[in-house]
Amino acid sequence: MGGGECTRDQDRSTGGAPGGEPPQRPRDARETRARILGAAGAVFAERGYEAATVRDIAARAGVNQALIFRYFGSKKALVTEVMAQDGKEQLSTTPPERLFETALRGVLTEGGGAGADRLLAVYLRSIGSADAAPETVRALGEEYAAALASLSEADDSTLRAQLAMAWLLGIGLMRVVVGQEPLASAAPDAVCAHVLTALNRLLPVLPGGEAGAGDAGTEEARPGVRS
């Protein structure tokens, strides 16, 4: 039957100088909840929904595994909250006309691990998992597409917007998840320039649209906006 073998749930700082940081934090439900949410975002982004275990998340948050269920109910509810939070943050803080390039640069710079790019990593690594809140994922994607589509007047503007977002996802897939070279370590500006130039025909309203006004230069694309 089930073997109880909990060696350690939190490391309690047995590392460098003894007595460095207090391993016993004051009890605070709100902070614990926040710690779990933060750790969950990181672990889900690194490993994807299925491979990330609640024990991993608890260990990174420095809390007991049972607290995850106390505060969130289930693993699925946890990932749903992570994605919804990160998504709403980006959607509310970024104006539609900058949404695409901001998201693209988020994928390209990576590393930082802020809220927004983390969302995409979670999304990408969890997309194959049937349990990973597919409705949340779809709803979020539709909100992004709707924001982008609001910029265009073409009658198939939503389709165009979704195609642009599909490219974003695909680039993230190749770069972050698969790590395919040379794309994985290509200069963000170079990738951004290629993509915005090509998309100029699909969504002329995006920045970078004024690139080749007179001559449709395939080679000369300006290196995008430096963030």
Partner DNA sequence: ATTATCTATAGATCTATAGATAATGC
Among 54, 68, 168, 206, binds a copy of itself (CB under 8 A): 168
Among 11, 20, 21, 28, binds DNA (CB under 7 A): 28
Tokens of residue 227, six digits: 């963030």
- Residue 6 or 213 having the CB closest to DNA: 6
- Which residue stretch of 67-75, 80-88, 96-104, 175-183 sits at the interface with a copy of itself (rule: CB under 8 A)? 175-183
Among 169, 189, 207, 222, binds a copy of itself (CB under 8 A): 169
Contact 102, 196 (CB under 8 A): no
Phi–psi pair at 74, nearest 5 degrees: -155, 165
- Which residue stretch of 74-82, 87-95, 173-181, 202-210 sits at the interface with DNA (rule: CB under 7 A)? 74-82
C-alpha to C-alpha distances, 59 to 64, 85, 86, 180, nearest whole angstrom = 7, 22, 22, 31
Contact 203, 151 (CB under 8 A): yes
Among 47, 76, 194, 222, binds DNA (CB under 7 A): 76
Quote the least distance from Cβ 75 to DNA, whole Å. Answer: 4
Residues 210, 80: Cα–Cα separation, whole Å:
39
